[in-house]
Amino acid sequence: MTVVEIAFWVSAGLIVYTHAGYPLLLTVLARLRPAPRYRTGGHPAVSLIVAAHDEQEVIEEKVRNALGLDYPPERLEVIVASDGSTDGTAQLARAAALGEPRVRVIELERGGKVKAQDAAVDAAGGDVLAFSDANAFWKADALQALVRPFADPDVGYVCGCLVYLAPGGSNQEGVYWRYENGVRALESRLASVTAGNGAIYAVRREAYLRLDPRTSHDLSFPFNLVKRGWRAVYEPAARAVERPVATLENEFRRKRRMMSHAWPAVLGGGLLDPRGYGPAYALEVYSHRGLRYATPFLHVIAFGTNLALLGRGGVYVAAFAIQVGVLAGALLARFTGDRLRLLALCRYYVLMTASLAAGLWDNLRRGTPATWEREGVR
């Protein structure tokens, strides 16, 4: 076998493994461990923190949603950290609270989401620090479910289940999150999750970390807490709903921005440093994060080597046809929209894979700022 053939089969095999083989392997390994069962009935004091920048369109609904959670009122406080908002975010948050003393609004200079969260934690009094985005709305029982795993003293971080309002997501983001939620459930059962989501998660106060403000809690908390001896788990009963962004192009820009903030954790933040990981968690990190983020580069290798191997047999012709078919489907989906689901999924996959490389390019070319702007939603 030539070097070119080896490069093709390795790159193609790793792509298939990270998207399909890894979840199948997780399914087998997770079945060897019993599903966790947590005690019920505990109500630790919770500080629910919402870092918001120019969120006047949703902040009133978010405050009302937080106050309407099925949780003992005396055990819950809500802190809105306005990160240099230039609109009516702070004023509308106060108005929505209707004088409720459990709600505090902190107005800060613009410093980015992580710095706003740090400031809110400094002001918080809860034993559990829960976090949510301003445009994510929790089911009434979500907080009860989110804090339940903390009955296990080894659990330091819990993320909930993000669901999109439009079934499947008009830009296929809902499909992606159903896949991600399934993988995280398996990771949680085997070892710990490798990432959370900003819509719904919580951390013990004593486990809270001050991060590089260019990064995010979503990616950096789970692996850093595992290195410090905590477990990071997924709780599917803690559900939050969110609207998908208006277009796939907006979703690409959002993912590109997110990856620009993720790459500092990957390249120099310790994610790929195996020290502190057990074997199972190391498998998860390198399969779900390391290989996933390498996917665009693996695709380039697979495509280039496949092109060079077209005269070597039918298997290479078939493999090349599949690759060209996905790219062609992505191009056609630009004109058909969501009417043909298979084409829409091809376009979603191509753009989201490209966003990984685009985020790295942005990070290397001009660095990653601590602040960001949100993309429009429906």
Look at residue 201 and tell me if it is in a domain.
yes
Look at residue 348 and tell me if it is in a domain.
no
Domain CATH code at residue 202? 3.90.550.10
Q: Average pLDDT, whole number, for the chain?
A: 91
Look at residue 376 and tell me if it is in a domain.
no
Query: What is the β-pairing status of strands 155-164 and 103-108?
Result: unpaired
Look at residue 356 and tell me if it is in a domain.
no
Does residue 47 come out as left (phi exceeding 0), alpha (psi in the -120 to 50 range) or beta? beta
Look at residue 294 and tell me if it is in a domain.
no
CB 68 within 8 A of CB 140: yes
Look at residue 365 and tell me if it is in a domain.
no
Find the domain containing 55 and state its range. Answer: 46-245
pLDDT above 50: residue 154? yes
How far is C-alpha 186 from the geometric centre of its chain's CA atoms? Answer: 16
What pLDDT score was predicted for residue 173?
63
pLDDT tens digit sequence for 13-49: 999 999 999 999 999 999 888 777 776 667 999 999 9
Look at residue 263 and tell me if it is in a domain.
no
pLDDT above 70: residue 376? no
The mean per-residue pLDDT over the stretch 177-206 comes to 94
Look at residue 349 and tell me if it is in a domain.
no
Count of the separate structural domains present in the chain: 1
Alpha-carbon distance of 180 to 276, in angstroms, equals 24
What pLDDT score was predicted for residue 27?
95
